[in-house]
A and B are shown apart, each in its own frame.
Chain A
Amino acid sequence: MDDGRPIFQQIADQIADGIAAGAYPEGTQVPSTTELSAFHRINPATVGKGVNLLVERGLLHKRRGLGMFVSDGARASLLAARTAAFARAYVRPLLAEARALGLSTDDVHKIVDETADERSTP
């Protein structure tokens, strides 16, 4: 696990991805710090920092003596945040590459439509 960003952020993102994908449904428990540390071979303090990031964002909450659980509304809030970031994360790099290749915005529209058609008609 390494894309250059701090490891605690990568851990937080990975759990968040699990919540968004429905792997950790709301109200269920996420793996413990010890389990995450052992699985990824990551310092437990780093894992704790990543988990705390999600607690601060209200996505996880602690049940004393039991562990960390996915909060109600966590999935919806994650999907909303990702939708808001969609243009910056995906569309801008797409347009930058299109410009580098000399493709116009209309060309890009056409390619998007064609690709979507390919996907929908197997």
Chain B
Amino acid sequence: MTRQTPLAAAPAVRLRGVGRRFRRTDALSDVTLEVPEGVVCGLLGRNGAGKTTLMSLLAGHGQPSSGSVEVFGADPFTHAPTTSAVSFVRDDQRYPDDFRLPHLLAVAPRFHAAWSTERAAELVDAFRLPGRTDVKKYSRGQLSALGIVLGLASRAPLTVFDEPYLGLDAGARQVFYRQLVTDLAEHPRTVVVSTHLVDEMEALLDRVVVLEGGRVVRDSTVDEARAAAYTVSGPAAAVDALTARLPVLASHRLGGLRSATVEGELTDEVDDAARRAGAQTGPASLQELVLAHGVEPEVGVPGVPASAAARASEGVPA
């Protein structure tokens, strides 16, 4: 893979203190993170958390209001070779009127040096994308499939997918996942992908970045994230007693039962204590961890991140 980078050892992505302001809204605030080269990084968080804004900055589609964005050690907004090292297919990507699939496939290699005609053909076939329909008449699922074709076949050193599964049925999503991992095994590169399908896509990811209200609330490997929380469930009184002094991220009640997601490591001591109290412990899924960082805004206290508000309101009957 050839890249025009001033710093050979630079990570694929490096953001330092990045803010992005739209009128009076901060879409991103003080975002500092790195994505090492060659990893698949999931960008998670509720709608409006800043995922698409962050991805636009990586693609050089805009500039941060503060802080710095580096892709392979250079500014993607001003450094043209870096811009072409990034493939970013927006979920609302527009194409020229009366463009059909063959036009796009003919043009795409001009933007991406490593473009794979074979992979593109294989994907078009797998998704059964029609070649004789104007792309602007494609369905939501067909547009998503097209975005996946353009993103994967680009073999761009940094490939960015914004909720690439919208409108795809379960079978088509499995096609995407299989093609993604197969192509990555043969041609390792860096991928950033935003998703709400956390359970379904977790196994594809090396790292996760969780955004909440424009801020990074978690940036770690998937394994670290999964080890960062656990669930305690059982009779409400037992769970109340067990978690009274612990940082509870989220909590659900069902009649006399309660399930709490607790931040921290699930140790044998925790497990033993729970069992003695008649409760059960289990690893929290990545999905639970993400949901814990995105509790409904209306229960949040203004100006307080939702997860902190959830912690503060813990134990206070609603």
| Across-interface contacts of A44 in B (CB, < 8 A) | 181, 184-185, 188
Decide if B40 touches A34 in the complex (CB within 8 Å).
no
**Interface flag for B39 (CB, 8 Å):** yes
User: Which residues, 271 to 304 on B, are CB-close (under 8 Å) to A?
Assistant: 282-283, 285
Question: Provided the pairs A43-B204, A44-B185, A44-B188 are in contact, do residues A38 and B178 lie with their beta carbons within 8 angstroms?
Answer: yes
| Across-interface contacts of B166 in A (CB, < 8 A) | none
Choice from B174, B186, B199, B205 contacting A43 with Cβ under 8 Å: B205
| Across-interface contacts of A8 in B (CB, < 8 A) | 223
A38 to B40, CA, bound (A): 15
A45 to B206, CA, bound (A): 8
A37 to B283, CA, bound (A): 24
Decide if B182 touches A43 in the complex (CB within 8 Å).
no
Q: How many pairs of residues, A versus B, come closer than 8 Å at their CB atoms? A: 57
Choice from B186, B199, B202 contacting A34 with Cβ under 8 Å: B186
User: Which residues, 1 to 39 on A, are CB-close (under 8 Å) to B?
Assistant: 1-2, 4-8, 33-34, 37-38
Q: How large is the interface on B (under 10, 10 to 19, 20 to 34, 35 or more residues)?
A: 20 to 34
Secondary structure dominating the interface of A: helix
Pick the most buried of A8, A34, A44: most chain B CB atoms within 10 A of its CB. A44
A5 to B285, CA, bound (A): 10
**Interface flag for A52 (CB, 8 Å):** no
A45 to B188, CA, bound (A): 9
| Across-interface contacts of A34 in B (CB, < 8 A) | 182, 185-186
| Across-interface contacts of A43 in B (CB, < 8 A) | 40, 181, 184, 203-206
Closest to A45 in B: B206
Choice from A5, A33, A38, A40 contacting B203 with Cβ under 8 Å: A40
A118 to B164, CA, bound (A): 54
Closest to A40 in B: B203
* Nearest CB of chain A from residue B59's CB, rounded to whole Å: 23
Pick the most buried of A5, A6, A7, A41: most chain B CB atoms within 10 A of its CB. A41
Decide if B203 touches A46 in the complex (CB within 8 Å).
yes
Q: How large is the interface on A (under 10, 10 to 19, 20 to 34, 35 or more residues)?
A: 10 to 19
| Across-interface contacts of B181 in A (CB, < 8 A) | 37-38, 41-44
Closest to B204 in A: A43
A43 to B178, CA, bound (A): 10
A34 to B179, CA, bound (A): 11
* Nearest CB of chain A from residue B206's CB, rounded to whole Å: 6
A74 to B227, CA, bound (A): 30
Decide if B38 touches A38 in the complex (CB within 8 Å).
no
Decide if B226 touches A41 in the complex (CB within 8 Å).
no
| Across-interface contacts of B77 in A (CB, < 8 A) | none
A1 to B283, CA, bound (A): 14
Closest to A44 in B: B185
| Across-interface contacts of A33 in B (CB, < 8 A) | 185
**Interface flag for B177 (CB, 8 Å):** yes
| Across-interface contacts of B182 in A (CB, < 8 A) | 34, 37-38
Pick the most buried of A42, A43, A46: most chain B CB atoms within 10 A of its CB. A43
Decide if A41 touches B185 in the complex (CB within 8 Å).
no
Decide if B206 touches A42 in the complex (CB within 8 Å).
no
* Nearest CB of chain A from residue B179's CB, rounded to whole Å: 9
A34 to B206, CA, bound (A): 16
Closest to A48 in B: B185
Closest to A41 in B: B177
* Nearest CB of chain B from residue A38's CB, rounded to whole Å: 5
A-B contact pairs, 26 of them (CB 8 A): A2-B199, A2-B202, A2-B285, A4-B226, A4-B282, A4-B283, A5-B283, A6-B227, A7-B202, A7-B223, A34-B182, A37-B181, A37-B184, A38-B185, A40-B203, A41-B174, A41-B177, A42-B181, A43-B40, A43-B181, A43-B205, A44-B181, A45-B40, A45-B206, A46-B203, A46-B206
With contacts A2-B285, A4-B226, A7-B203 known, what are 11 further pairs, Cβ within 8 A? Answer: A1-B203, A4-B282, A4-B285, A5-B283, A33-B185, A34-B185, A37-B181, A38-B185, A44-B181, A44-B184, A45-B39
- Chain B positions within 8 Å of A, measured between CB atoms, are 38-40, 174, 177-178, 181-182, 184-186, 188, 199, 202-206, 222-223, 226-227, 282-283, 285
